[in-house]
Amino acid sequence: MERTECQPPLFGIRVLELGSSVSGPFAGRLLADLGAEVYKVEPLEGEQLRTWGVQAPDGSSWWFKSHNRGKKLLAFDLRQPQAVEAVKAIARRCDVLLENFRPGRLTEWGLGYEALAADHPGLIYVSISGYGQDGPYANRPGYGNVAESMGGLRYVTGFPDRPPVRVGVSVGDHVSALYAVIGTLAALQARERDGMGDFVDVALTESCFSLTEAALPEYQAAGIVRERGGNRYLRAAPSNVYETRDGRWMAIGGNGQGIFRRLCEAMGRPELAHNARFADNAARVANAAELDALIETWTKTQEADALNDLLAKAGVPAGPVMSIADIASDLHFRARGMIASIQDERGLEIATPGIVPKFRRHAARLTTAAGAVDRDTAAVLHELGLAAETLR
């Protein structure tokens, strides 16, 4: 069938982003990736993520340039009444307002949901905060590292004899951004049905807690408190990372009955699949340390690349633990468009991850990298017919 490419999925949707750092801007980036017109508002000096990490030649971090791709960059001093009026005017022309300030801050500036929805009832107002908009902790400042801790993720991350550890990326911020996008899309769909906007309340702590699998039902039913288990998956086995002969690490998931049998055959140990200690998942979990030792004894005789190919041919889920250098040169990531490049207004090339998910017809496309503070304010005001009525 001939492929017909249409406009991106969110073409025609306007989003006003009032956020900084990670969670709000990442949600805005995802919406921009899907084709929404995203207007990002920063302070006149620029937001703090511009200073985080390694700096590009223009003085903004590489992270900022990739993290805020595809957006129009505006700058206002929201402590000034005329700037607030300008942002209100922009909000009236948008479908979505996305923010990650502490609850109440935008209300203090006259940009809260009630004030904006009064004359724009179709507005979808999406707020990301540490603890949500109500409850005993609502007014506390909240960051992703705290949310990961209070939401239960860090308690189970690490090895039993070591302190809780951080996952190597900002999981709490990113998962809350994903929930913000889900909420935005759901509210847009509901508005198609009834014409009404909504307030979408996303808490970082709740976003993290939602990922804790069976922890709550197992605790309530049996008093089990899940503890740190290192790289071993405590509910199914074998599932771990195993060292190879060339000093690399291979993740292997052999925890289905058929898969475990194929793994044993690939190891040249088919009898293990019939051993009473490993005959089913419950037995394998109970004897996981012994089973992992057997598997690693074998993997240490194999080069990682050859082992990866062998397990793929055997139908066993496996893959090497990859650094960013490995990923950047990987043929599959490249074939899927995940090693991408965009330019800012100075022509500076910025490497950036590709778009997830892929669409067959309504294709999303990368456009520009984030660039200079205030780059697009005048153009956007003019485009929205606001230049004559706003001053900063």
Residues with a known catalytic role? 173
Give dist(CA 99, CA 25) in Å, integer: 8
Encoding tokens for residue 193? Answer: 């049905």
Strand order in the sheet with 249-253: 239-243, 249-253, 318-320
By CB neighbour count within 10 A (0-12 exposed, 13-18 middle, 19+ buried), where does 105 fall?
Answer: middle
**Residue 32 parent element (H or E):** helix 23-33
For residues 93 and 122, is the Cβ–Cβ distance under 8 A?
no
DSSP calls for 234-265: TTSSSEEEEE-TTS-EEEEE--SHHHHHHHHH
Q: What is the end-to-end Cα distance of the chain in Å, rounded?
A: 53
Least Cα distance to 372 among 59, 90, 77, 86 occurs for: 59
Encoding tokens for residue 294? Answer: 């057997």
Q: How many CB atoms lie within 10 A of CB 214?
A: 12
